[in-house]
Amino acid sequence: MSQKILTMLQMQNEMNAKVHPQWIEQEFEWDRAIWIECAELMDHHGWKWWKKQSADIEQIRLELVDIWHFGLSLLLQQAPISESLAQQVLNELDTAQNKENSLDFLKSVEAFAAFTLLNKQFSVPLFSKMLQGMNMDLNQLYTAYVGKNVLNFFRQDHGYKEGSYVKVWNGQEDNEHLVEIAEQLDPEKSSFKDDLYQQLKQRYTKFTQN
């Protein structure tokens, strides 16, 4: 399992370096990005007692993956990529997941956001409690993270920054195509991320370059 953590750390570093080659020296406010995502997550869950709301579980899980992107970035800003870092993250995830969560989901989000605001750090154990609240395990987090990371790379490689990227292909948004492709692949294969990228490329070429 620590290999999956290590892979995600490496992928996050590569993505950040694509945005800015010296991204660590820039000291971007990853902590701010995290707590803002927490607010968006709570809106997807529903917290307004004065109106009828129901939790959008899939959107909540996507927000958790976005928070994980920022959290990995914050960890990498403070320590270099290493097997020991990956093992530390895995241990903190596992320890928290194996303990009963006495807080309801929104309280877990608030505790995590408060820690982030106060300490400007990423708490893996508190993040793990949010995963637990959404019944997400490490394998599900890994699959979702790799998919989103590959899509981010694909967008950047195909003109997203310049504004030439086409987000809707054949009537579907790119993230919908991503989900369809990911369901047909084996996330345990070492070529998972490369296979995802190549199949995205095939679909993109087929549906946008006619």
Q: What is the pLDDT of residues 185-202, one digit of tens each?
A: 999 898 999 999 999 999
> Would residue 140 count as lying in a domain?
no
67 and 128 housed in the same domain? yes
Predicted confidence at residue 210, as pLDDT, reads 64
Q: Where does a domain end: 99, 134, 169?
A: 134
Q: Per the domain annotation, does 139 fall within a domain?
A: no
Instruction: Give the integer Cα–Cα distance in Å for 29 and 8.
Output: 20
Question: Taking residues 3-14, what's their average pLDDT?
Answer: 94
Stretch 122-151: mean pLDDT: 93
Q: For residues 112 and 96, is the Cβ–Cβ distance under 8 A?
A: no
State yes or no: pLDDT of 50 exceeds 70.
Answer: yes
Over the stretch 53-100, which tens digit does the pLDDT of each residue have? 888 888 899 899 999 999 999 999 999 999 999 999 999 998 877 776
Q: How many Cα neighbours within 13 Å face the side chain of 70?
A: 23
Q: How confident is the model at residue 18 (pLDDT cuts 50, 70, 90)?
A: confident
Mean pLDDT of 33-62: 91
Does pLDDT of 102 surpass 70?
Answer: no
**CA atoms of 201 and 154, how far apart (whole Å):** 8
172, containing H or E segment: strand 172-173
Q: Is the pLDDT of residue 101 over 70?
A: no
pTM of the predicted protein model:
0.86
Residues 6+ apart with CB under 8 A from 6: 81, 83, 86
Residue 28 and residue 71 share a domain: yes
